[in-house]
Amino acid sequence: MDTTNIANSSLILEKMRSHAQWLRGQLHGEASGGRCILDAATLNGMNLTGADLRSAIIRGTTLLDAELSEAKLANAIIDGADFQRSLLGTADFTEARISDSDFGFSWMAEAAVSDAEIRNTVFHKSNLRGARFQGTVLETCRFSGATLSAACFNHSRITLCDFGESDFSDAQFVRAHLEGCRFLSATGPDANFSNCRLKGCDFARTDLARARFQRADLTGSQFERARLRDADLRDAQLGGVILGRADLAGARFAGATLLAADLRSADLRGARELTSQQLAQARTDEYTVLPNGSNGPYRRNSGAERAVARQ
């Protein structure tokens, strides 16, 4: 073997040993009263399973393809870090502050992200199944194409985030505040938005079959061509909401406010608990399918608000 290659290989191994020793020292800094600081470090592909990085400062660091399952990152400050394709299953980010970072294509199933503050961060096509975001602040984050099934966003504040083409089926958003968020062509059957405030959100072409919106304020949001079959909209604020061409067959509307709601070309076949007054206040046209299966527009006292069984 070429002596030059042997020397280069030895040098690389020595650097790797030195780096590992340095990293171990950093990870044990908390135990010695210090704080782990990873500044512009390159930790691609490293196995950091269960690493204790509580209150760490991780800035400008790359962790591509790193193994961080069960890592403890509570109260960490993460800025400009790259976690793409990393494994972060059941990792703990409770009360972490994360900004300008990338978790694209990462595995974060059942991660704990409660009471965190996350801004300008990418979760594109990441797996966040069962992740917990209770009480978290999310601003200008991208969840496009992400798996969010059974994730929990209860009491969170979500602003200008993109959930387009994501799967948030059975996700929980109870009492969350969402503003300016986009869910275009996403999949969210059985999602729970009860008592939510949804301001200026776009659910166009989103599958929301059996979703729950009880007592939710949807003012200023739009559901053009959305699938809301058997959705629960009881006591929801739907005044001025765009529901044009939406599939609302079998949906429940008891107590909902529909003043100036746009139901043109919507399918209300079999929709339940609608009153004559509610439908008279909404906008319907000749392409609206009314609860009794007849075509609109709705005429007061016509009886078309009474649902017939769907075939």
What are 109-128's pLDDT values in tens digits?
A: 999 999 999 999 999 999 99
Q: What whole-number distance in Å separates Cα of residue 70 and Cα of residue 248?
A: 42
What's the average model confidence in pLDDT over 28-42? 72
Tens digit of each residue's pLDDT (9 = 90 or more) over 157-206: 999 999 999 999 999 999 999 999 999 999 999 999 999 999 999 999 99
* Least confident range of 6-15, 88-97, 106-115, 295-304: 6-15
pLDDT of 8 reads 41
- Indicate whether 74 pLDDT > 60: yes
* Alpha-carbon separation of residue 123 from 46, 76, 119, 152, 154 (angstroms): 20, 18, 11, 16, 19
pLDDT of 35 reads 81
- Name the band, by pLDDT with cuts 50, 70 and 90, for residue 2: low
pLDDT of 301 reads 86
- Indicate whether 155 pLDDT > 70: yes
Q: How far is CA 177 from the centre of its chain?
A: 12
- Indicate whether 20 pLDDT > 90: no
Share of the chain above pLDDT 70, in %: 88
Per DSSP, helices labelled H in 116-232 are none
pLDDT of 308 reads 78
Dihedral (CA of 73, 75, 76, 79) sign: positive
The mean pLDDT value of the chain amounts to 91
pLDDT of 311 reads 56
What's the average model confidence in pLDDT over 37-63? 96
- Name the band, by pLDDT with cuts 50, 70 and 90, for residue 15: very low
Task: Provide the 8-state DSSP code for 130.
Answer: T
Task: Provide the 8-state DSSP code for 142.
Answer: B
Token pair listed for 289: 């399918």
pLDDT of 34 reads 66
* Alpha-carbon separation of residue 150 from 90, 192, 290 (angstroms): 14, 10, 33
Dihedral (CA of 201, 192, 257, 265) sign: positive
- Name the band, by pLDDT with cuts 50, 70 and 90, for residue 32: very low
pLDDT of 18 reads 47
- Name the band, by pLDDT with cuts 50, 70 and 90, for residue 1: very low
pLDDT of 191 reads 98
- Name the band, by pLDDT with cuts 50, 70 and 90, for residue 304: very high
- Indicate whether 11 pLDDT > 50: no
The residues pairing with 115 across neighbouring beta strands, listed in sequence order, are none
